[in-house]
């Protein structure tokens, strides 16, 4: 028999060994029920050519959003995105969450092509924030595509499916995490023996179940994953749950009576899946998967919805930092006397997600409206949230994100009273000034070769750091890191005066939730308010409430940890308790800064300062501009 016409991305010897090409060459049926049976039976599984045709047909029929990138888009953008880089050294998009690309039966050219396709998908789908299964899907599709562009189009159609009843692939951390929780629920119901074993040997059983997608899209050998994918394209997401449950059943059977260690159970399951051919055939795996009874799509949807609601209630919606937020601050429409466009983009990356895509709107400028606190309030009232920026006569820059309308100050009858919510934060920015003053580019000591390799060729770069104490700081660095090589291996400073560093201080309760007490100790007033907001009982633990709600929903030991913002006739204050993060006088002329309990911050600039400029910015919805 003639050898099948593999594409240029496939290693022929590996492919021949994995999947023999002995099946039919055509598929004539169009009825869904018949397709289901043929997919489960593996009708096109043994024909390389037919599987490629079936994938093309099934994916073409996926209902997609109106504008879905196709092969021509890939041809237009791939050169711009990849540039002159070697495809094998291309970084993977952040949404894959450090997932490695499975090689399956791809050759080196194919492995590089997968990276190129993933980067182009990231360019066209900025809303995809977390999708660790995608590398395996793209790698599989590339085996059965004519070229990279066709593979790109297939993957895009899977991502762009707009049928609400047809879930195909998780594209956010919320969806992924709720799927993991749903799988755990299903294991508890349909694989009780395996579940008991996991609970017995695992310190955190949910961490074991969080690996379930990796079993399928990453660890399964190609001919197993392809069989699963055949049925997945016809029947949808529930097939993945079925097969993962079957894998766990077979793992439990194979390891029955053998000791399992809590610190190795995840690796044990991965190893079992990788070598599953020693235990069970693809046919037996699918047979076991579809033998599970009482497993309806409706049940999965209800579990998924309940878990998503619980995660949202806990404030768990994202894992990775926001992508492409810099697009919200357009250089041609932005002018500030205090910060540059790039500095504003850095600040903008910290604001809550629901405001991140808004445009900055100048509400007050001391140079335009004068140095009057009354005028400041007048210009800001009716806007929520606002961003306060201050520049001192010493050219220091600091500010605050303020969650609440300044008109709230009027509720205190002319007296100074604090208001606001835990979304408020303060920040400081430090720059080098003076001709010839070199910016300090800190040397890296952890995995520096990889860091430098990823950064070289890029200028400028933005360095972001989050500590184990959840503190956030960073630096804007003007110069390519390759400049360090000019010092012959010694540490030398370089860069320009455009460099700056910055640091943000959030509400102290975010970093130290232990400051709140259990809900059982809440006052009746707080409990009733929390119940009204969360539709939950007053006995619910405090961690079920978002830390970004008003402070009255938290039973804090003292009020000093919740003094966010205050405004009177003669002063403006941000952050209180043991001091003020920012105090501005009524003439907008003098200010002071110190540590405060609410933000647990260091002074944001010189402790006593004169104001050169002060601005307030609002958030304008781009849809109503």
Q: How high is the pLDDT of residue 583?
A: 97
Rg (CA), the chain: 29
Q: How far apart are CA 348 and CA 618, in angstroms?
A: 12
Rounded to an integer, the average pLDDT of 321-344 is 70
pLDDT of residue 306: 75
Q: Do residues 220 and 212 touch, judged by C-beta distance below 8 A?
A: no
H-assigned helices in 507-601: 508-511, 524-534
Residue 6 has pLDDT above 70, yes or no: yes
Q: Provide the mean pLDDT of the chain.
A: 82
The arithmetic mean of pLDDT across residues 423-441, rounded, is 58
Cα(519)–Cα(526) distance, rounded to whole angstroms? 9
* Partners of residue 506 on adjacent β-strands: 425
Distance CA 505, CA 511 (A): 10
List all residues 6 or more positions away from 623 whose beta carbon is below 8 Å from its beta carbon. Answer: none
Q: For 156-160, 271-275, 338-342, 376-380, which range has the lowest pLDDT when averaged over its residues?
A: 338-342
Tell me which of 504 and 95 has the higher pLDDT. Answer: 95
How confident is the model at residue 422, as a pLDDT? 79
Considering only residues 14 and 142, tell me which one the structure prediction assigns the higher pLDDT: 142
For residues 421 and 553, give the distance between their C-alpha atoms in angstroms, rounded to a whole number: 10
| Token code pair at residue 11 | 């290693």
User: What's the pLDDT score for residue 437?
Assistant: 33
- DSSP class per residue in 63-131: -B-SS---HHHHHHHHHHHHTTS-GGGPPPPGGGTTPPPP-TTB-HHHHHHHHHHHHHHHHH-TT----
Q: 180-194, 362-376, 401-415: lowest mean pLDDT where? A: 180-194
pLDDT at 429 over 80: yes
Q: Which residue has the higher pLDDT, 99 or 247?
A: 247
Burial class (CB in 10 A: 0-12, 13-18, 19+), 282: buried
Structure tokens at 19: 């999947």
Distance from C-alpha of 223 to C-alpha of 617, rounded to nearest angstrom: 57
Q: Torsions phi, psi of 38, nearest 5? A: -65, -40
Identify the structural domains of the chain with CATH numbers, from first to last: 12-21+52-159 (1.10.8), 173-313 (1.10.472.80), 327-432+499-516+556-625 (no CATH), 434-496 (no CATH), 517-555 (no CATH)
Q: What does the pLDDT read at residue 511?
A: 62
Question: What is the rounded distance in angstroms from the CA atom of residue 161 to the CA atom of residue 237?
Answer: 12
Task: Evaluate whether 120 touches 72 at the Cβ level (below 8 Å).
Answer: no
545 φ, ψ to 5°? -95, 140
Q: What is the mean pLDDT of residues 323-348?
A: 74
Least confident window among 98-102, 373-377, 388-392, 397-401 = 98-102
pLDDT, one tens digit per residue, over 204-243 is 777 889 999 999 999 999 999 999 999 999 999 999 999 9
Between 528 and 578, residue with greater pLDDT: 578
Short-list 67, 70, 62, 106, CA closest to 88: 106
Report pLDDT for 509. 67
How large a percentage of the chain has pLDDT more than 70? 80
Confidence label for 477 from pLDDT (cuts 50, 70 and 90): confident
Identify each DSSP E strand in 214-352 by its residue range: none
């Amino acid at each position: 028999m003639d050898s099948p016409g593999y594409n240029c991305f496939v290693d022929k010897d590996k492919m021949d060994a994995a999947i023999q090409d002995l099946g039919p060459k055509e598929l004539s049926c169009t009825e869904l029920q018949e397709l289901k049976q043929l997919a489960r039976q593996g009708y096109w599984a043994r024909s390389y050519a037919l599987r490629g045709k079936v994938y093309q047909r099934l994916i073409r029929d996926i209902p997609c959003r109106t504008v879905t990138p196709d092969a021509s888009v890939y041809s237009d953008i791939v050169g711009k995105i990849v540039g002159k880089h070697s495809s094998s050294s291309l970084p993977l998009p952040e949404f894959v969450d450090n997932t490695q690309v499975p090689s399956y039966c791809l050759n080196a050219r194919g492995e590089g092509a997968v990276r190129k396709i993933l980067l182009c998908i990231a360019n066209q789908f900025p809303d995809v924030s977390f999708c660790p299964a995608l590398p395996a899907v793209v790698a599989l599709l590339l085996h059965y595509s004519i070229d990279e562009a066709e593979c790109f189009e297939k993957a895009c159609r899977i991502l762009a499916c707009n049928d609400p009843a047809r879930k195909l692939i998780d594209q956010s951390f919320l969806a992924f995490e709720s799927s993991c929780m749903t799988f755990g629920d299903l294991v508890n119901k349909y694989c009780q023996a395996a579940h008991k074993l996991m609970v017995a040997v695992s310190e955190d059983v949910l961490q074991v179940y969080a690996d379930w997608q990796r079993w399928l899209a990453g660890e399964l050998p190609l001919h197993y994953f392809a069989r699963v994918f055949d049925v997945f394209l016809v029947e949808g997401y529930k097939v993945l749950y079925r097969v993962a449950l079957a894998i766990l059943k077979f793992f439990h059977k194979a390891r029955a009576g053998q000791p399992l260690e809590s610190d190795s159970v995840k690796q044990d399951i991965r190893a079992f899946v990788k070598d599953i051919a020693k235990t069970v055939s693809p046919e037996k795996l699918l047979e076991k998967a579809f033998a599970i009874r009482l497993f309806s799509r409706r049940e999965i949807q209800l579990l998924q919805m309940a878990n998503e609601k619980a995660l949202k209630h806990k404030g768990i919606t994202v894992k990775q930092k926001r992508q492409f937020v810099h697009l919200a601050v357009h250089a041609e429409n932005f002018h500030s006397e205090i910060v540059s466009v790039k500095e504003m983009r850095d600040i903008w990356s910290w604001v809550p997600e629901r405001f991140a895509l808004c445009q900055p709107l100048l509400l007050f400028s001391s140079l335009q409206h004068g140095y009057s606190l009354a005028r400041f309030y007048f210009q800001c009232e009716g806007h929520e949230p606002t961003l306060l920026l201050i520049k001192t006569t010493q050219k220091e820059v600091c500010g605050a994100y303020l969650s609440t309308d300044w008109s709230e100050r009027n509720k205190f009858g002319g007296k100074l009273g604090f208001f606001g919510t835990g979304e408020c934060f303060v920040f400081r920015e430090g720059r080098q000034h003076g001709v010839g003053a070199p910016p300090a580019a800190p040397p890296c000591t952890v995995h520096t070769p990889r860091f430098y390799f990823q950064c070289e060729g890029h200028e400028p770069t933005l360095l972001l750091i989050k500590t184990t104490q959840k503190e956030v700081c960073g630096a804007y660095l003007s110069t390519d890191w390759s400049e360090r090589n000019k010092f012959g291996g010694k540490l030398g400073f370089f860069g320009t005066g455009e460099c700056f560093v910055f640091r943000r201080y959030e509400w102290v309760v975010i970093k130290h939730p232990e400051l709140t007490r259990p809900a059982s100790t809440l006052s009746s007033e707080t409990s009733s308010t929390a119940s009204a907001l969360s539709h939950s009982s007053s006995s619910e633990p405090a961690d079920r409430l978002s830390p970004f709600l008003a402070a009255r929903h938290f039973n804090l030991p003292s009020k000093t940890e919740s003094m966010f913002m205050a405004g009177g006739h003669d002063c403006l204050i941000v952050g209180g308790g043991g001091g003020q993060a920012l105090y501005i006088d009524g003439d907008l002329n003098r200010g002071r800064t110190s540590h405060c309990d609410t933000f647990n911050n260091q002074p944001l600039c010189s402790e006593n300062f004169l104001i050169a400029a002060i601005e307030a910015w609002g958030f304008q919805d781009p849809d109503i501009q």
